[in-house]
Structure 1
């Protein structure tokens, strides 16, 4: 009869978590102790056995797939059309099925609650992703159900304290901790990640019956990150308001929690949830009055959305003493937000109209308004002071007089005429002296070709390292040249023998081959055993081509190198391998210098070598655009088909593909799709490289394929730019590579540059912008349009982007930055019926400055429209100044 450990071990070997849970739930203390002693030492054994079983299942699946592929070939059909193939593809491959039984066993038998929690969180039990089929939450709950109640409560708390961030809803650590807390009635620990996890994993429809509700609601206002997590959520505030209305939770607790978060400060976006909740609660005046000091304290410095909320509540408090009202208004007038400053001025206007009011109490607030950055606010404050001048006492008049010298000359003179004081003289115009744009260094050159078999054998092939794959393919073709001495070829065969050993006879039947190492192994074996491909019984051009993955099933930066390896291998099998390749880059960013390509083609024509079609296409996609007369003349002398085509692309290139970007969503996630419109010649060269596909692509590796067409690479890489998913996203380093590549810059590159400009002058986008400006390649107006589009979709204003553009202008790109503003202003300024903000005023002011620096000319319709308005706002004044600059009018 088996003992407890033998039974558990047998269930683990059978990968039966349900059996393990049943066993350990029924064990007594001694049986648990027996199993707990054996578990740690069994861990490496269980892992190895599990890996062996995974390998066997993979082999069975592969054998089944090969059988189906052979059957489909005999039937003359695609393997994907067979029902059995869909079953094989649809079978979920859960690797590491030993993990769940081991986790359940440890939870059920380890004596200490802390030790059991540690066991469940071991790194040994982590996968790259958790398939739903591997869910063991119910099993763990069943395994510990017979443990003492105090033990279960401590276990629940220990698991909760091990949560570290807001994990996905499906994360079993989150769900297990919450399930145990609910079942055991344990007091949830005050742990911010637990609060965030509870929010993320709990449906608002289930809140009323959630045992954790009373403990967790107060923590919504205490835990860091709640505002960020719920900033765009509307279901949670609505649910909380409903529960408060039903008496399930306290209404005052919600209002008090909101006030606490407001007083703690934070970014406006992170306060949005609490503002929404407060508004939806619609507090009555009697609920606001006891907390008047709190709302008044928020006026001077709280985020704008909180400040607006506080102002609405303060207005409901009714009249207050002049000194207190003046202090409150003064706090508003020191703010930077135009909306709040205008609200403060309107409030001040109403207060000063009260004939019984003491205007001296409002003088500090009026002086604060005179020092606003907004010209409109200053103008209005001066008019208020002049209108009510007779009602100020000596102290109030002195306060206003102190501000005279700090005002612009015209406004200061207007105020001095009534209150006295000396107005400032008009400022001397500062002459703009731009810096010179620096020279742009050439991209670094590629390493020299591999000419030694030993060096070639040591190169590590990986789809994540395009450079090594490129050097290996180039080196192999050069070293495998049939014209080389037999001794040299023998050295190559010897050096690549370990690689060739990886290509057994069974490999030829597999398809597709997803790794360059598979193709390299086949090349090495074909070199050592000429005819190995045909001897395997699967020879023929079509068979090799079928091993290349379909372009729609993977990213272009991975499939294109595989297709090129396949082409070289096919040429090797057929005995037409060229002495070297045309498309090997000459620069580390993937560019191919025109003179080198012409030289290679001259060699081909001398030796009667025919270019490999895909190799020629890749060369054209990498071809640089700077062509000297000497190189163009040599290209014109080429007579072969490939030579004539290259000569045409060097001297009279076909019309460039047009890039169209569209913002879409995929499963609720933001994606930026790209479409490419091109003529027949470009379609022939591009082929299906740019077909739509749901794969994120590494910008660096994609650029290695499209180095002479950087905007195409940028547009494809932008697909995940604003995704929340953990996918490849174009980085600042990718932007640097794109700038050093070649080809016209258009919407794709402009979008990536605009994205990084929004990080401000220290965000890293200014140097790439300057390099593009120095080469005359900056797509200024397109950059402005893309920046405007990003600003419309962003919660942040244009301040950081404008600061970055200002830095670029001051460093010599003032003319180019003006072109950016020409694209930005029409798309960013408010249209009919839209409200202008201080952000629009700052944009117009900056545009006027840059236009003067660049000595810009040429009317801009949107500026002319604002300049023609009758309202004397600062925005209109700046538009008039800019319009006069552009049109030469006065």
Structure 2
């Protein structure tokens, strides 16, 4: 019995409790041995399992001594508030009075900023890190290695080339091991392949015409946002490959200083000052990426703007103006309505349209590679073929503009909601939650999509992002709930996945946050003519949250189900939620712990 009662399958547990009841009815002498094991189910997450365990204990309590009764009564403290009155009837005076403490919402601590290490040290350390980075997906290690390459090429290109030639002797771009059909084979005709084009450029292994073509490649303006993001990244790499050969760049302006991809304003001013003192002009795409990454909401932004302006350079003036701007970038998310009469499935990912707001001044100041962010990207309904790929470097492109970043990530999340194989797409949500910039509808949508992902690990990362935003006071839980209601009503999201995510979030102690979200998600489902399968499970989680946080009020559509006949989970949990809302004691203030 003990092995089964630790399982999560509710039907299995209910069956086992029924069998235990029958065995004890035939052999009461086993009660002293079996009932403590049954009492372990008092702490189960499912309310019905708790109720059945209490019923089994109640029926066979007379078969144990007083000491055992007191131990069972102590275990009853694990029962949810809904079973308190029933437990009092079973155990009487043995059950102590519950502590009446004000409710406190438990939210995770606000994450401390993580700062990246300084520039690469010796040339040997750089080469060692480059070899490790070839097998790593870390965007920050990638950025730091790029900056190290630029710095060492500026100081001593010959020494760098010698080390790279030896360390990467077997690299495909050196025409090694007969990889190419002939020595003039263009290894980079389909892109820079991470930073390989930069490494090869140091050794003169990239055709000049390929570098020029890469630098001047057009950004697809009628494609998905992923195509534009990837093209912007590639153009930046080709620009570095072009300039590193001459060793003219002393450092990269766009190297992040924080794990989210953000750059501290005063650090960017310091880098620009180094350019001014060397009499050099910044590379256009490098400067553009640096401006996108600089933390405009940082407390030092005003001081940094003054110092940037004092540099007397065009780049310094641009940085000052950018730091003083408000919400310079925006995106609108729209959806095609579901076409029920069409043959085949109308996937959620096909229905998302992201349109960047027109910003003529942005397009004047930034290079062509980034014009799509200022209104150049046109929405269309063609299927996005990038949506199973979510490289971390995409999330670090816009660390200071979370709304725009969230809009860019929506199609990736959507594919993991109504797809069967897509996974590992919610990693950027961590950077999104800890980033900068406005939080609005796009962030709420991407969280809603994340909570409904097929993969459990994806849902867990979405829950973490939800709680971090709540702890920072930036979560619009009601908007997330409304978006969840829409996804559920259109059958794009499965209720059991949302139930799993909501249960996980509530178990951390964030009962009021989860209830606020579910209070918006549930009414459209309760008012639907045909109840959705799995609705009872969502009501059970909502009832548990209400019982613990003491919320009160009415929920549209709930009464109809609470008055229903039978003992189905939907009817049982609807009654439980209705009673909890009527008996609430008021909500407390959220606290972090």
Shorter chain as denominator, the TM-score bin is 0.5 to 0.7
- Equivalent position of 1:595 in the other structure: 266
Structure-2 separation of matches of 1:463 and 1:667: 40
Structure-2 separation of matches of 1:510 and 1:878: 61
Structure-1 separation of matches of 2:454 and 2:419: 20
- Equivalent position of 1:694 in the other structure: 385
CA displacement at 1:457 relative to structure 2:
3.9
CA 1:456–1:514 in structure 2 vs 1: closer, same or farther (change >3 Å)? same
Aligned to 1:634, which of 277, 300, 304? 304
Structure-2 separation of matches of 1:720 and 1:268: 29
Aligned to 2:290, which of 619, 628, 637? 619
Structure-1 separation of matches of 2:334 and 2:371: 20
1:790-809 to structure 2, matched below 5 A, reads 791-792=488-489, 793-794=493-494, 796=496, 799-808=499-508
Confirm or deny: 8 A CA contact 1:450 1:456 kept in the other structure: yes
- Equivalent position of 2:550 in the other structure: 852
CA displacement at 1:766 relative to structure 2:
5.0
> Over residues 390-419 of structure 1, what are the superposed CA-to-partner deviations in whole Å (9 max), with x where a residue is unaligned?
xxxxxxxxxxxxxxxx99979x99xxxxxx
Confirm or deny: 8 A CA contact 1:864 1:883 kept in the other structure: no
> Over residues 772-802 of structure 1, what are the superposed CA-to-partner deviations in whole Å (9 max), with x where a residue is unaligned?
2222232312332344455553163865344
CA 1:505–1:610 in structure 2 vs 1: closer, same or farther (change >3 Å)? farther
**What's the secondary structure of 2:550's corresponding residue?**
helix
Confirm or deny: 8 A CA contact 2:120 2:145 kept in the other structure: yes
CA displacement at 1:754 relative to structure 2:
1.6
Structure-1 separation of matches of 2:461 and 2:327: 34
Structure-2 separation of matches of 1:717 and 1:831: 29
Confirm or deny: 8 A CA contact 2:450 2:462 kept in the other structure: yes
CA 1:604–1:826 in structure 2 vs 1: closer, same or farther (change >3 Å)? farther
> Over residues 543-582 of structure 1, what are the superposed CA-to-partner deviations in whole Å (9 max), with x where a residue is unaligned?
4535789696986665444221211233456x69332111
Structure-1 separation of matches of 2:331 and 2:583: 36
Does residue 817 of the first structure (1) align with residue 514 of the second (2)?
yes
CA displacement at 1:656 relative to structure 2:
4.9
Q: CA RMSD in A?
A: 5.4
**What's the secondary structure of 1:675's corresponding residue?**
strand
Confirm or deny: 8 A CA contact 2:512 2:545 kept in the other structure: no
Structure-1 separation of matches of 2:256 and 2:249: 17
Confirm or deny: 8 A CA contact 2:478 2:520 kept in the other structure: yes
Structure-1 separation of matches of 2:454 and 2:418: 18
Confirm or deny: 8 A CA contact 2:161 2:202 kept in the other structure: yes
Confirm or deny: 8 A CA contact 1:513 1:548 kept in the other structure: no
Report how many aligned residue pairs link the two structures: 465
CA displacement at 1:634 relative to structure 2:
2.3
Unaligned 5+ residue runs, structure 1? 1-265, 270-297, 303-335, 339-366, 373-405, 414-421
- Equivalent position of 2:467 in the other structure: 770
- Equivalent position of 1:475 in the other structure: 148
**What's the secondary structure of 1:603's corresponding residue?**
helix
Unaligned 5+ residue runs, structure 2? 1-7, 17-45, 57-81, 176-181, 565-570, 588-593
Does residue 676 of the first structure (1) align with residue 358 of the second (2)?
no
**What's the secondary structure of 1:672's corresponding residue?**
helix
**What's the secondary structure of 2:203's corresponding residue?**
helix
Confirm or deny: 8 A CA contact 2:220 2:227 kept in the other structure: no
- Equivalent position of 1:739 in the other structure: 433
Larger radius of gyration: 1
Structure-2 separation of matches of 1:654 and 1:705: 16
CA displacement at 1:864 relative to structure 2:
5.9
Aligned to 2:164, which of 496, 521, 527? 496
CA displacement at 1:583 relative to structure 2:
0.9
CA 1:869–1:448 in structure 2 vs 1: closer, same or farther (change >3 Å)? closer
Aligned to 1:711, which of 379, 382, 406? 406
Higher relative contact order (CA 8 A, sep 6+): 2
- Equivalent position of 2:32 in the other structure: none
- Equivalent position of 2:179 in the other structure: none
CA 1:623–1:821 in structure 2 vs 1: closer, same or farther (change >3 Å)? farther
Confirm or deny: 8 A CA contact 1:446 1:585 kept in the other structure: yes
**What's the secondary structure of 2:242's corresponding residue?**
helix
1:201-240 to structure 2, matched below 5 A, reads none
CA 1:843–1:512 in structure 2 vs 1: closer, same or farther (change >3 Å)? closer
Q: TM-score, normalised by structure 2?
A: 0.60
Aligned to 2:281, which of 605, 610, 622? 610
> Over residues 739-762 of structure 1, what are the superposed CA-to-partner deviations in whole Å (9 max), with x where a residue is unaligned?
3444445135413542369969x9
- Equivalent position of 1:513 in the other structure: 191
Structure-2 separation of matches of 1:431 and 1:883: 19
CA 1:472–1:449 in structure 2 vs 1: closer, same or farther (change >3 Å)? same
Confirm or deny: 8 A CA contact 1:697 1:728 kept in the other structure: no
**What's the secondary structure of 2:144's corresponding residue?**
helix
> Over residues 455-482 of structure 1, what are the superposed CA-to-partner deviations in whole Å (9 max), with x where a residue is unaligned?
444413649634454233212222233x
CA displacement at 1:450 relative to structure 2:
2.3
Structure-2 separation of matches of 1:655 and 1:886: 45
1:4-19 to structure 2, matched below 5 A, reads none
Structure-1 separation of matches of 2:134 and 2:416: 25
CA 1:768–1:832 in structure 2 vs 1: closer, same or farther (change >3 Å)? same
- Equivalent position of 2:417 in the other structure: 722
CA 1:649–1:832 in structure 2 vs 1: closer, same or farther (change >3 Å)? farther
- Equivalent position of 2:241 in the other structure: 569
